[in-house]
Structures are given as C-alpha cells and as structure tokens.
Amino acid sequence: MSTSVLYHEFRIRGYDYVRTIREDGVTIFVIRQRRERLTCPCCGTHDVERRGEVVRRFRIPPIGQRVMQVELAVARVLCAHCDVIRQVHVGFADEKRHYSRSFERYVLELLKHMTIQAVAQHLQLGWDTVKEIQKRYLNKHFANPELKKLKKIAIDEICIGKGKFLTIVLDLKSGAVVYVADGKDSSALDAFWKKLKGARAKIRAVAIDMSKAYTKAVRENLPNAVLVYDHFHVIKLYNEKLTELRRALYNEAKAGPYRNVLKGVRWLLLKNQENLDSEKREPERLDAALALNKTLFFAYYMKDALRMIWECDGKRDARKVLDAWIALADVSGIRMLKSFARTLAAHREGILAWYDYPISTGPLEGTNNKIKTMSRQAYGFRDIQFFKLRILAIHNAKYALVG
C-alpha cells in the first residue's frame, strides 16, 4: 500500500499512508493529513494552531468481498482570525458522513443493478444508509426538474394503495416526470402551476383524460393551451359502459341458454374484432351472443364506429364522424349510448383537438406501469418523499426496475 494507491484508486488526495491494520475481517488504512494542508473550516486561512484531534474511520470501496476503511485523526484547529476551535474539513468525505465520496459513487452504481437490500447485504451496511445515499443523490439531481422548456405535457393519476392516489405530470418530449403530488383533484396541481409561472414556460398542449378536476385546472391556469382528451381513455370509458350494459342484460335475462351465453362474453366484448382468437372460437362465441340481443349487438358495433373518429384524414372529416356517432346514439333508444353521446358532445372540441396535437397520456400509462413495478418490488414505500424522488428519476432507468 502507498500514498499513490490512495490517490489513484480511492481518490484520497493530500493525505499520507501510515500503516495497515487488519481486524475482524476489515482492512483499515491509517492515514494522516499533511500539516501544510490544515486550514480553518470557516474562513479557509492556513493561519491555524492545532488543538487536538478526533480519530474517525470512513468506509471506502471494497476490494472483492473485503470491507475496506481508512482511519484518520481529524485535527481540531484554532483559527487566528475567527478565534474558534473546529474540526478541519475531511477532503474525501462530506460533512457528518462515515463513508468517502468514492464509496458513495460505488453504492450508486450498484443500485442500478441491485435492490437496496441486496446492496446493503453485499456491502455489510445498514439498509437505511444505502437508502439515504440514493435519496440524497435523487434530491440533488431530480427534485427540481427544469420546466422552462416544457411545450407538451400529459397529466394523469395513479393509484398507489387503497384510496391513495398520486397526480403525475409528464413531459411528452423527453418522457420525464416533472411533477408528482398527492391526491387526484385539481388542488394537487396548485404547486405545479406556480412553478410553471415562475419558470415562464409556454405550454402549447395538454393531454388528459376526461376528468372534470383536471379539465377545470388546465382551463383556469393554461387558458392558451390546447386541451386534448386522450382517445385511449375515451375507448376505455366506453368499454366500461359496455360491460355495465352486458351486466344489466345478464341480470334481466331469465335462467336459460341466453343467460349462459352472456356470462361467457364479458372479455370478448372488450376486445377489438381483429384481436379475437379464432383457435378458441372467440368470434363464433361473440357472434352467438350478439345474435341473441339487438341492444348488445348495436352497442358492440358502435364501439368500432367510435374508433373511426381517430382514423380520419383530417379534423373536418373527424368532426363529421363524431357528430354522426352522437346523432345515431341519440336515436338508438339505448340509455347507455344516449348518456355516452352527451359525454362526447360535452368534450367534442377536446376530442377533435387530437388532430391539431396528436398527443395522449399513453406514455404516462407506461410510466405508471414502471411505478407499480417499482413499488411491488420494494414492497411499498413508507417514505413517500423518497418514493416521489424515485418517480421523478424513473425515466433514467435503463435496467430492470428494482426496489
């Protein structure tokens, strides 16, 4: 061991190697600070007088499975200018830390490939120490994302537990989460609007579902932005209504073959025709159910007509298709279709705005799935602030998500 190895391998500069101690499976390098490098921690002057020392040990990156430490007698000095006695700064470690900066970088690198618990066991550290290293790194690099360049964003909520929701805002250009807040009502976005105003961001378009809370919040705070209702959520909402219709028809049907046919087609109604599995005779089963009930038949094929709204050549044609769909649903005599037609009519401009800005909350759905995976693998997060920081950094995850 030499001072050169300390410098090049462990980034310990300005200290001299003294000796090596081995005890209880730990290798300890004893080092000392050069007298000419002693400075006042307050004003930085070299005009100091040594007044004792405190022996401290710091973790450094391991060699194989061997735990490595450095031992340093940290000098206490009296400053001639400040007239106070303080410990000098340790050049290779942050204040109040029992590990070096090189060790901290090593932990962060391992966390890209391992869980917090696995890293703690591998390095023979406490779980909370590893978590604190990651939390401090995330807080430094991701707690305050840049908002000035935002142009197109998506807003959605995610359920993180029974009755617990988070509101997520995603930058559709970079795919990065730029804001996370508790709840799913309009007040969850209050702090975000203030940050946007302070950053002088010029948002052009916002993709959301047909939530009244988000609609109100966007229109009040971004009056010049184009509001785009996510077409995937429109189809999802229609599928939910279609399921409710099938359930109502099933409950109204008397016992017999018709009731049994309806019972077996719930998931088939949610599929598009091109996705039906012919090997499992799904097309035949669905046709049999639809043939038995005109209401279900009409409602199912209205779903295909609804999808045509986003397959037109332009906004003008799409408006005609949407208006025709609403008119046909109004005269169908089916309560579910008439109710859904009123919903579409109320959100007409936001639906058609997709032709001006073809954006959606689809990227947010992928991010939400990553968040759920991360939460499951970590068995949940008690530290909600740490959880939010992990979400803000989730776009940088190029590895299998781990807790």
Lowest model confidence (mean pLDDT) among 60-64, 121-125, 377-381, 384-388 = 377-381
Residue 186 has pLDDT above 60, yes or no: yes
> 67: part of which helix (H) or strand (E)?
strand 66-79
Residues 275 and 390 in one domain: no
Dihedral, CA of residue 247, residue 249, residue 252 and residue 256, to nearest 10 = -100
pLDDT of residue 295: 76
Cα gap 60→70, rounded to integer Å: 7
Contacts of 135 (CB under 8 A, 6+ apart): 383, 385, 386, 389
Residues 280 and 385 in one domain: no
Mean pLDDT rounded to a whole number for the chain: 84
Cα gap 93→104, rounded to integer Å: 9
Report CA 234 to chain centroid distance, whole Å. Answer: 23
Read off the pLDDT of residues 33-75 as tens digits, 9 standing for 90 and up: 888 778 888 887 888 888 888 999 999 999 888 899 999 999 8
Residues 240 and 296 in one domain: yes
Average pLDDT over residues 93-98: 90
CB 152 within 8 A of CB 204: yes
pLDDT of residue 95: 87
User: Among residues 98, 116, 142, which one ends one of the domains?
Assistant: 98
Residues 314 and 235 in one domain: yes
Range of the domain at 314: 231-355
- Domain-embedded: residue 403: no
Longest CA–CA span in the chain (Å) reads 99
pLDDT of residue 84: 82
User: Among residues 70, 98, 126, which one ends one of the domains?
Assistant: 98
pLDDT of residue 218: 94
In terms of pLDDT, which residue wins out, 403 or 184? 184
User: How would residue 397 be classed by pLDDT, with cut points 50, 70 and 90?
Assistant: low
Average pLDDT over residues 179-185: 91
pLDDT of residue 402: 44
pLDDT of residue 264: 54
Average pLDDT over residues 165-184: 92
- Domain-embedded: residue 381: yes
Cα gap 329→344, rounded to integer Å: 11
Residues 195 and 340 in one domain: no
- Print the SS3 string covering the chain: CCHHHHHHHHCCCCEEEEEEEEECCEEEEEEEECHHHCCCCCCCCCCEEEEEEEEEEEEEEEECCEEEEEEEEEEEEEECCCCCEEECCCCCCCCCCCECHHHHHHHHHHCCCCCHHHHHHHHCCCHHHHHHHHHHHHHHHHCCCCCCCCCEEEEEEEEEECCEEEEEEEECCCCCEEEEEECCCHHHHHHHHHHHHHHCCCCCEEEECCCHHHHHHHHHHCCCCEEEECHHHHHHHHHHHHHHHHHHHHHHCCCCHHHHHHHCCHHHHHCCHHHCCCCCCHHHHHHHHHHHCHHHHHHHHHHHHHHHHHCCCCHHHHHHHHHHHHHHHHCCCCHHHHHHHHHHHHCHHHHHHHHCCCCCCHHHHHHHHHHHHHHHHCCCCCCHHHHHHHHHCHHHCCCCCCC
β-strands 164-171, 177-182: how paired? antiparallel
In terms of pLDDT, which residue wins out, 67 or 272? 67
Average pLDDT over residues 239-252: 77
User: How would residue 355 be classed by pLDDT, with cut points 50, 70 and 90?
Assistant: very high
| CA-angle at 165, arms to 160 and 170, nearest 5° | 95
Cα gap 92→13, rounded to integer Å: 7
Residues 376 and 338 in one domain: no
Contacts of 335 (CB under 8 A, 6+ apart): none
Cα gap 298→142, rounded to integer Å: 50
User: How would residue 297 be classed by pLDDT, with cut points 50, 70 and 90?
Assistant: confident
- Domain-embedded: residue 126: no
In terms of pLDDT, which residue wins out, 114 or 358? 358
State how many domains the chain has: 3
Residues 239 and 317 in one domain: yes
Residues 329 and 239 in one domain: yes
- Domain-embedded: residue 369: yes
pLDDT of residue 36: 78
- pTM (2 decimals)? 0.77
Residue 368's domain is classified under what CATH number? 3.30.420.10
C-alpha radius of gyration, the chain, whole number: 31
User: How would residue 401 be classed by pLDDT, with cut points 50, 70 and 90?
Assistant: very low
pLDDT of residue 289: 56
Residues 73 and 50 in one domain: yes
Residue 356 has pLDDT above 90, yes or no: yes
Average pLDDT over residues 68-84: 88
In terms of pLDDT, which residue wins out, 86 or 278? 86
- Domain-embedded: residue 21: yes
Residues 200 and 241 in one domain: no
Cα gap 124→353, rounded to integer Å: 56
Residue 8 has pLDDT above 50, yes or no: yes
pLDDT of residue 282: 67
Residues 196 and 165 in one domain: yes
Which residue's structure tokens are 């018709």? 258
pLDDT of residue 298: 78
Cα gap 336→48, rounded to integer Å: 83
Lowest model confidence (mean pLDDT) among 6-20, 254-268, 317-331 = 254-268
Residue 174 has pLDDT above 70, yes or no: yes
Average pLDDT over residues 184-200: 92
User: How would residue 139 be classed by pLDDT, with cut points 50, 70 and 90?
Assistant: very high
Residues 77 and 221 in one domain: no
